[in-house]
Amino acid sequence: MPENAPLKSGQPAPEFELMNQSKEKVKLSDFRGKKKVVLLFYPMDFSPVCTTEHCTFGPQLGNIKGREDAVVFGVSCDSPFSHDAYKKQYNIPYDLLSDPTRKMAKAYGMWAGEEPYNCTKRGTVVVDKDGKISFYQEVAMREPRKVEDLSKAVAIEIAEENRDHEFGQSV
């Protein structure tokens, strides 16, 4: 697969191991079979649109997650130190993952390029419990995402999961 290519629903999510704001390692494979993973890619800590998003998402985290079997992570190329200060200043209730090498952003098709800021794109990826992409969307860099859109992304995956189990099929 070419570097930085968009992912498609149903394909395996690329494995990652990144540090969060507390310098603890977080691996995608640790959630396989246990939780859906919602990845909120954003360009950079402390920027106006990103701050608006995180300050909006925090109080609405329950609505975004839907059921309790989902975990939400913010992902950018900023350092764990920047993430720590950002999370504390704005009371962000979910972990922020640091991708300073840009390897994860490129694997997920979410790297915006070196110019002008060498940062991640704004986008949402939902990985189902089986480790497959169930939702993938890039959003304009200057446009904040809406809680309703994130809730729908997780709900669509939940609806498909329920439909498959309703008919006795396992995906």
pLDDT tens profile 59-115: 999 988 876 589 999 999 999 999 999 999 999 999 999 999 999 999 999 999 888
- Position 160 scores a pLDDT of 52
- Position 166 scores a pLDDT of 42
Within-domain flag for 47: yes
Within-domain flag for 5: no
End-to-end CA distance of the chain: 24
Within-domain flag for 9: no
Between 142 and 162, residue with greater pLDDT = 142
- Position 67 scores a pLDDT of 66
Within-domain flag for 63: yes
Within-domain flag for 4: no
Answer positive or negative: Cα dihedral of 26, 45, 143, 114. Answer: negative
For the chain, strand residue ranges (E) read 17-19, 25-27, 36-41, 70-76, 95-98, 122-127, 133-139
Q: Given pLDDT bands bounded at 50, 70 and 90, which one contains residue 13?
A: very high
pLDDT of 41 strictly over 80: yes
How large a percentage of the chain has pLDDT more than 70? Answer: 88
> In this structure, what CATH number is given to the domain that contains residue 154?
3.40.30.10
Cis peptide before 12 (omega within 30 of 0): no
User: Which range of residues forms the domain containing residue 117?
Assistant: 17-165
Tell me which amino acid residue 55 is. Answer: C
Name the nearest CA neighbour of 30 among 87, 83, 71: 71
Q: How far apart are CA 90 and CA 70, in angstroms?
A: 22
Within-domain flag for 124: yes
50 tagged catalytic: yes
Ranking 14-18, 27-31, 124-128, 155-159 by mean pLDDT, the lowest is 155-159
- Total domain count for the chain? 1
Q: How far apart are CA 28 and CA 103, in angstroms?
A: 14
How large a percentage of the chain has pLDDT more than 90? Answer: 76
Q: Left if phi > 0, otherwise alpha if psi is -120 to 50, otherwise beta: which for 76?
A: beta
Residue 126: phi and psi, rounded to 5, are -110, 125
The whole-number average pLDDT for the span 49-63 is 94
Within-domain flag for 10: no
pLDDT tens digit sequence for 20-35: 999 999 999 999 999 9
The whole-number average pLDDT for the span 154-163 is 57
Catalytic residue (choose from 50, 55, 77, 119): 50
Within-domain flag for 11: no
